[in-house]
Amino acid sequence: MNFFSSTTIMMTTVAFVVSGTPVKIKARTTDADAIIGKTSQLYEKGGGMDITFAANIYSGKNGTTFESFEGTIIMKKNKFILTTPDMKTWFNGTTQWTYRSGEVYMTTPSGSDLRFLNPMILLQDYKKDFNASYMGESTSAGAKMAYDIALTPKKKDDIEKIEVQIEKNTSLPVKLVVTMRNNMRSTITIKDVRDSNPSDEIFTFPKAEYPDVEIFDL
Give just the sign of the alpha carbon dihedral 208, 210, 215, 218. Answer: negative
Say what the pLDDT of residue 142 is. 81
Residue 120 is predicted with a pLDDT of 53
Predicted confidence at residue 26, as pLDDT, reads 41
- Which pLDDT value is given to residue 37? 82
- Structure confidence at residue 121 (pLDDT): 58
| pLDDT computed for residue 21 by the predictor | 43
**What sign results for the dihedral spanned by CA atoms 85, 86, 92, 94?**
negative
Mean pLDDT by 10 residues, the chain (218 residues): 50 54 42 84 70 86 78 85 91 92 90 58 72 91 89 86 88 85 86 86 95 91
Burial of 61 (0-12, 13-18, 19+ CB in 10 A): exposed
Residue 209 confidence (pLDDT): 94
